[in-house]
Each structure stands twice: as structure tokens, then as C-alpha cells.
Amino acid sequence: MSFDNKSILVTGGTGSFGRKFISTLLSTHKPKKVIIFSRDELKQHEMREKYPDGAGSPVRYFIGDVRDLDRLRRAFSGVDIVVHAAALKQVPACEYNPFEAILTNVIGAKNVIDAALDEGVPKVLAISTDKAVNPVNLYGATKLCAEKMFVHANVYSGERVTRFSCARYGNVIGSRGSVVPLFEQQRASGRVTITDNRMTRFWITLRQGVQFVMDAIEQMHGGEIFIPKIPSMSLLDLAATIAPDCELQQVGIRPGEKLHEILISEDEARNAVELEKMFVIQPAHTWWRRENWSQGKDLPDGFLYSSANNSEWLTGEQLKELLKNA
């Protein structure tokens, strides 16, 4: 499936991922229409200056909230592909505002599913996170709920053309709320704070994340959770690379944080297959056709894809190179 001559809508289209996705889409493909759906009129205005929506442009801007099902139905009319990237994702904010996190991340996901089914959108892919695996905070729990709904929504499709899948990956280098901008900011003071010296994380650039999502959309059958093969790095090495001459202060792990993140749990691995550049978790249900990914290699018993046991680790020089091209 090509993105050329297709109508593509991105919820949360003015966020970090949305902006990079739109930029990549317009520079590498010739879509019929690109709809940026978000509730932030200022960010839409700023994007409009770079990507005008006048005559001859495929870009359209929709003010709307994923909490509003009627608005989603209107926006999804005639759309071929939906990328669902809208979410409340700051862990402390979700912990302090749990009802708001659920309304956006869970009820909003349900609304996206209902609108896509009602309007006959062929492909819908939701952006998820490693925090959805064995969640210890509300943000991760809401994203786990969203994943479950998107996988099971394929049952509701019935004879309809609509198919749903998810893309799950780790921390995006340099994104809003990332520790990288924090370390860069703290560098000027000569002191960098680390919650725990043992902590590790998966890392991916925004550009890599966008390409991975595009690849997943091209290959999805409906029901998959796609996971990229990406490197890990310890927070200690990350801080030493970004602020090499600074004092490192350990301040203790924050509520809702893990020492290590997991992208595939042992239980999920039983239904996952390995490909050259990704893993694919298949639904453990009778409606799923196992031959969809028969070219994949089954994972061994006890497989766990954790940032602590990863076979690929970032060096300081590799991180610097990624930051240049992020």
C-alpha cells in the first residue's frame, strides 16, 4: 500500500510525532489529503505557516478533541488511513489528573475506533509506548487499555474494511518531556540529576519512529502490535555523554517510574515473531490468521525484550550522531 493519492488523518497532529510525520509524508509521498486533527489552535496556526492549506495544498486543519465522537466522525469522512497519536503522556500529569488521562487516552481511543468503523476507514494505527507493558503508572495503564481496544476492535469490524493495529516503541530522543533536553538544560548549572544510576531505557529518534509507523501501516493486516528493534542506554551513560564535565547527583526514583522498560513481556513473546528489523505480537485469539506472519521466526521460551537485557547498546558517539540527525 502506498501513501500516494490517499487521505491520511493524524490525531494529535500538532505534537512532536505529528509534525515529523506530516513533514516526512509531504516530502516523500504525494497524498491526496493530509488532515491535522488537534485541539491546539496556536500550534495549528504555527504549522499552517509552514504547511499552508490554501489552493493546491493537500493539507487541512481540523480543530477537535478525541473526546468528541461527533467531531471525529466528521473528520474521518473519506479518510483512508488514521494515525492515532493524540494522548496525555506526561507521567506526573496523568498521575495527578487521572480522570483526564482516562478520558483522553482510553475514552478517546474508543471514540477513534467507533468513528473509524462508522466511516469505513480502511487502516487505523495507534501509537503506543513501552510503558504499556506491565504498567506501574496510570499513563502506562491507559495505553495498555488502548492497545487492547485496538487489537479487539478488529472483531467489531466484521465484514467492514476497517483494520486496527498498534506501534509500540521506547523513549524518543529529544521529544517534549524527554530527559535529554533536561540534561542539556541542567548542564549549564554544572550538576545533572539522575533518579537511579542503574536505570536503562530504550531509545529511538523521531525520524526513526515515523519511518517505523509508516512501515507498520504498509504491512499491517489488523490486530498486530509492532515493535522495532532499537538500542538501549543507561541513564548514567546518557548523562555522561550529554554533560561529561558535570557532577552527577542521584535523587531517587520517582513515583510511577521503573528501573528498566520492557517492550515485549514473556507472556506476549509466546504470540510474537521476529523479523529482520522488528517484532510482531499477534493476537492470542481464534479469529487471527497465523499465516499472516508465517515468514517470522518464533521467539524462544522465556524471551523478554527489556532495556536491561537488550543485545544492542548505544555508545556515547552513537548517541551524539543520533542527536544530530534526530
pLDDT bucket at 174, cuts 50 / 70 / 90: low
Q: Which of 131, 277, 297, 324 is catalytic?
A: 131
CB 142 within 8 A of CB 201: no
Q: Could you report how far apart the first and last alpha carbons of the chain are, in Å?
A: 27
How much is the average pLDDT of 173-177? 70
Q: What is the pLDDT of residues 61-120, one digit of tens each?
A: 999 999 999 999 999 999 999 999 999 998 889 999 999 999 999 999 999 999 999 999
Question: What domains can you pick out in the chain, each with its CATH number?
Answer: 7-170+204-229+263-301 (3.40.50.720)
- Kindly report the pTM of this predicted structure: 0.94
Cell numbers 524471551 correspond to what residue? 303
Which H/E stretch holds residue 105?
none
Kindly state the average pLDDT of the residues 152-179: 88
Mean pLDDT throughout 197-208? Answer: 93
pLDDT in tens, 205-240: 999 999 999 999 999 999 999 999 999 999 999 898
Q: Spell out a b/e string for 12-50, using b for 16 or more CB atoms within 10 Å of the CB, else e.
A: bbbbbbbbbbbbbbbeebebebbbbbbbeeebbeebeee
Selection from 257, 249, 117, 149 nearest residue 199 by Cα: 257
Range in 1-15, 147-161, 242-256 with the lowest mean pLDDT = 242-256
Average pLDDT, the chain: 93
Q: How far, in Å, CA of 152 to CA of 146, rounded?
A: 10
Query: Mean pLDDT, to the nearest integer, of 7-23?
Result: 96
Share of the chain above pLDDT 90, in %: 75
Find the mean pLDDT for residues 150-166: 94
| pLDDT value of residue 95 | 92
Q: Which residue has the higher pLDDT, 177 or 120?
A: 120
Q: Is 176 a residue whose pLDDT tops 80?
A: no
**Residue 175, pLDDT above cutoff 80:** no
Q: How confident is the model at residue 171 (pLDDT cuts 50, 70, 90)?
A: confident
| pLDDT score of 183 more than 90 | no
Q: How confident is the model at residue 1 (pLDDT cuts 50, 70, 90)?
A: low
Cβ within 8 Å of residue 54, ≥6 positions away = none
pLDDT at 299: 96
Nearest by Cα to 227 from 248, 244, 208: 208
6 is catalytic: no
Query: What pLDDT is attached to residue 177?
Result: 63
| Strands annotated E in the chain | 7-11, 33-38, 59-63, 81-84, 123-129, 163-169, 171-172, 191-194, 200-204, 225-228, 232-234, 247-250, 262-264, 272-274, 278-281, 297-298, 305-306
**194 touches 239 (CB < 8 A):** yes
Task: Quote the pLDDT of residue 21.
Answer: 96
pLDDT band at 322 (very low <50, low <70, confident <90, very high): confident
Taking a C-beta distance cutoff of 8 angstroms, is the pair 168, 227 a contact?
Answer: yes
